[in-house]
Structure 1
């Protein structure tokens, strides 16, 4: 079995690579740093291919797909993504455009191209890494929350299409809360609640994807929180979330 993982050099992506390798999966890994990819490759006890790409570049997802052609990928893990913190009028437009490229455009392209191949052979799995943010509105983190809403809604729609077609192909959505990764450093925030480890999230993610689970939400408290959020009017919830996001600003 072979998996392709984007954003594989750190955080959840790296932990998923390690978890799959323990289960004997061969891997194709991509990230921006060739050095980091090679260092990770040396630690994994399975066949690993690497390709260094910046998925914020227009051609990168197509280059990645071509690289994987003929290699019989069984699992696509769309993990690459990042956040931009601040009031919408204050954040840098270029940063947000790159966020849209990576979090939405690249994920969309890879999902479509690999899903077409999976459907033709009637086998294959996709794991799209979203976030608990994918169910919410995020003042001060608006672009990131919006991008993860896109991932959740796109994936849910695809799942229903596959179900109606009685396809053996599955799509799963990973929706963790705070995870102790480099994400908060790049976004310039600090979590004020206890974060899960990437390893714990990866274990649930891999099990869920392999078994075809649609929604994977690690942690009981996060599952309860997401369910409870649907009981609160949107305007009030947005006000609450503003204060939650404001508390993330480094002192």
Structure 2
């Protein structure tokens, strides 16, 4: 088998690469930081390819697909993404647009292009990294929460379409809560609860993907949070989300 992993230079993406490689699966690693990719390649055994690419550019996403369409990819992991913290009227527009390009547009393009090939041969797995944030409104991280809601709902809709087709192609949305990664530094926030280890999240994500699950929510606390979103009024969700986000600030 062969897996393509975006955002593979750190965090969940790096751990997924490590664990898939340990399973004997060939991996193609995509990220912006070549040095990190080279370090990871040297660490892994088996067949490892690295591609330094910025997925904020839609053309780059298409070029990535064209470059790899003959590689017979079996697994697509859309992990690349980042967050922006702050009140919506105060955050930098260009940074937010870049976030949307990576979190939403790149996921949409790569999912669509590789999904078509997977359906044509009736085999393949897609793992889209969303977030528990995708189930909630997110004051002070409005764009990030909205982007993860897009990834979650897109993945769920495709899951429904594939089941209707009785397809052997499977798509899973990973919806973690806080994870011990570089996300905090990039978004300029700090979580008040201890994040899960990226390796543990990756392990559950891979098991859920191969288990053909629609969604994977690592950790009992986050599973309980998901259940609460089903019964909690939006007004209360907004207040709770604001309180949680406000406490994250480093300022």
Q: Deviations over 1:133-189 (max 9, x none)?
A: 011100000000000000011111100000001001000000000000000100000
1:160-171 → structure 2 map (5 Å cutoff): 160-171=160-171
Indicate whether 1:109 and 2:109 are aligned: yes
Structure 2 SS opposite 1:60: helix
Counterparts of 1:184 and 1:141, CA distance in 2? 12
Which stretch has the larger CA shift, 108-117 or 228-237?
228-237
1:31-46 alignment runs, 5 A limit: 31-46=31-46
Partner residue, 2:223: 223
Q: How far does residue 60 in structure 1 lie from its aligned partner after superposition?
A: 1.3
| TM-superposition CA deviations, 1:35-82 (whole Å, max 9, x none) | 111111000012001110011123111111112121110000000000
- TM-score w.r.t. length of structure 2: 0.99
Gapped regions of structure 2 (runs ≥ 5): none
Give the superposed CA RMSD. 0.7
1:63 aligns with 2:63: yes
Query: How many residues of Structure 1 are paired with residues of Structure 2 in the alignment?
Result: 251
**C-alpha distance in 1 between matches for 2:88 and 2:110:** 28
Match of 2:24 in 1: 24
CA distance in 2 between partners of 1:163 and 1:48 (Å): 32
Equivalent residue, structure 2, for 1:178: 178
For 1:207, the equivalent position in structure 2 comes to 207
Q: Give the drift of 1:221.
A: 1.1
Give distance in 2, aligned partners of 1:177 and 1:87.
Answer: 21
- The residue number in structure 2 matching 1:139 is 139
The 4+ residue runs of structure 1 with deviation greater than 6 A are: none
Extract unaligned runs of 5+ from structure 1: none
Counterparts of 1:59-98 in structure 2, within 5 Å, are 59-98=59-98
Corresponding residue SS for 2:184: helix
- The TM-score, its normalising length taken from structure 1, stands at 0.99
